Structure 1
Amino acid sequence: MPKYDTALFVGGTRFIGRHTVEAFLDAGYAVTTVTRGEHDDPFADRDGVENRTGDRTERADLAAARDAVEPDVVVDFVGLHPGEVRAATDVFADARYVYVSSGSAYAPGDVPMYEDETPLHPCEPEQEGDDTAETYGPRKAECDRAVFAAAAEGVEAMAVRPMLVQGPHDYTERFGYWVNRVAEHGEVLVPGDGGSLLHRVYVADLARALLLVAEEGEPGEAYNAADRSAYSLDRSLELIADALDTDVTPVHASERELAAHGVEPTDISLYTPDPMLVSTGKLAALGWEPTPPPASVAETARAHVDAGVTGPDESLDRVTEEAVLAALGDE
């Protein structure tokens, strides 16, 4: 039996939300999603799930959903601006509110990043309403501060900070870029020495983390969500190749070698010049155990191949990649 009965999801029909709906259903909750109706609803004919059309930027829509559902738990997947989170924590002040934040809320520098020690990005007033990628981290940080402020006023509000999320139905296709390269090509271009470390979390594990925090989390707290063991780009290729029963040869290229072809290392999906790692002890203390990477990568890789995922539109194109590979082979 679930600890509570009803859950309302602000968002919930695409990637993270889709898996979280499943986790809450499995736990016995009645689930309602609030979406603008711009994407297909995978739960349209599913018992135990209802959908309400509404815009999370409209306070009246949130209040109408609250009054109709009277939720015990609210999970907010799509809060991108601090004002939206301030409104949501007010509207849902009588529920346990879980905000899906991001590891990007942390100011860079610490390795690993700790919830209660690592500074968050500052957020200037003019950044709060911005929609550019450059202000994403500051906005998420300010959203977290809105959660903490609400908790200080008695709202049972918490934040979960996932790192790079990967798994089936990932519309960003960032990990799918590498799956496609391994599935289709024997040689794959990898920036640097292949040791780039960007902490990841498997989407089904994140869904269980959100359920756990909703039921057991402490108001006013943030919880990092990431695999217990981080793995490099090279290790990612090995795990994907194992899952697809194929072979792959990573070919490493320096910044200079890439620049000769007009490519920056950060043009290549999931590359980070500095390690981005978080501590996961707080979530583990609640009883959370993530899936081992060989199993989670295998599930993800097979799902991406079945779905025909090739990578983001802005990914490094294969023609340029092959030109770099050819040049490296001639050296």
Structure 2
Amino acid sequence: MEQALVIGGTRFIGRHLVTELLDHDYAVTLFNRGTHENPFADNDSVGHIAGDRRSGAALKAARDAVDPDLVVDCVAYYPGEVRMATRVFEAVDAYVFISSGAAYGPDVIPKREDETPLEPCSDDEAVDDSERTYGARKAEGDRAVFEAAENSVQAMSVRPPIVYGPYDYTGRFAYWVDRVRDHDRVLVPGDGTNIHHLVAVENVVRGIRAVAEEGTAGEAYNVANRRILTLGDLLESIADALDTDVELVTAGARELGRLEPTDFPLYNPNPHILSTAKLADLNWDPVDVQTTIANAVDDPAEPERDPGPDVAETRAVLDRLV
């Protein structure tokens, strides 16, 4: 049985990844600080080592205790963390860094791993903790993976766009589920044709496993749903999953008044589409989109926040558009 060490592993992507690995006969150990509830605390098949991933000594202690074949880094948000981890785990069969589709720079359609340039990252941005530098930091983490591979480390990268599914604590997908479930009319920014490529968490973890087992060191792999939905199509699919009818009321900048289209989650003024052809060449078996939407609609978790305009704000706009 292969040994997997998951850095993180208790919240969203990591939680699903642990289940995916267990289902495919891996022995799994979590490495994290233990600040979030461990959903696998009662599972004898999942070990836990407490430690700070920012500490090289703690990473080495986890390595020595587990002797992992596979390491998946779910919570590396700074390139220095990736460089440290690839040094500590230089001898493993596979180190997989979870990067982001935000690592890409220009608004190219679609974004391809071996063609589309990555965001630049200055020294100051590499240690900044603001949302503004998230994509740049992930891009520099990817470059750290490439550098490690040049030194014979079996390091690879997986780039998802916005992820949705059960236990998503961001509230971005849940915002729209709540509006469709609770209201007959739903305010949609723009004309409903906005496209921001999404990916179900089920497909992310299947992609991570495929990369770990079949990927090539020094390579990055996009992971996203095989079917791309506009925002309007997504809301209609949510309505289908809820077995309800909803009227989508579109509104441009003038109709929105004080609201901005970008105030709404999952809205992107520029199409964001990732090519998944490279991952499809591996042993990746994605779940169909409607099934994943139905799974996400049934999410038992409560998100940490409601990331879009509140009901009163959107109702005021809807009342003007009657």
TM surpasses 0.5: yes
The amino acid that maps onto 2:282 is L
Q: Cα deviation per residue 1:148-183 (whole Å; 9 max; x = unaligned)?
A: 000000000000001111000000010000000011
C-alpha distance in 1 between matches for 2:307 and 2:236: 24
**TM-score (norm. length: structure 1):** 0.95
Which position in structure 2 is the counterpart of 1:284? 280
Which position in structure 1 is the counterpart of 2:290? 294
- 1:315 CA drift (Å): 1.8
CA contact 2:113–2:222 (8 Å) conserved in 1: yes
CA contact 2:107–2:271 (8 Å) conserved in 1: no
Q: Cα deviation per residue 1:251-299 (whole Å; 9 max; x = unaligned)?
A: 00001111x2x10100011101111000000100003132111111111
Which position in structure 2 is the counterpart of 1:77? 74
CA contact 2:171–2:307 (8 Å) conserved in 1: no
CA contact 1:243–1:302 (8 Å) conserved in 2: no
C-alpha distance in 2 between matches for 1:118 and 1:267: 27
Which position in structure 2 is the counterpart of 1:188? 186
C-alpha distance in 2 between matches for 1:15 and 1:308: 12
C-alpha distance in 2 between matches for 1:251 and 1:17: 36
Percent sequence identity is 53
Q: Cα deviation per residue 1:103-150 (whole Å; 9 max; x = unaligned)?
A: 000003101000000000000011111000110000000000000000
- 1:328 CA drift (Å): 1.1
Which residues of 2 match residues 63-212 of structure 1 at below 5 A?
Answer: 63-95=60-92, 96-212=94-210
C-alpha distance in 2 between matches for 1:126 and 1:241: 44
C-alpha distance in 1 between matches for 2:320 and 2:277: 45
Q: Structure 1: give runs of 5+ residues left out of the alignment.
A: none
Tell me which of 270, 285, 288 is aligned to 2:266. Answer: 270
Q: Secondary structure at the match of 1:128?
A: helix
C-alpha distance in 1 between matches for 2:64 and 2:301: 38
Which position in structure 1 is the counterpart of 2:24? 27
Q: Secondary structure at the match of 1:74?
A: strand
Which position in structure 1 is the counterpart of 2:12? 15
Pairwise CA RMSD of aligned residues?
A: 1.1
CA contact 1:177–1:312 (8 Å) conserved in 2: no
Which position in structure 2 is the counterpart of 1:220? 218
C-alpha distance in 2 between matches for 1:271 and 1:26: 35
Residues 1:50 and 2:43 are matched in the alignment: no
| Aligned residue pair count | 321
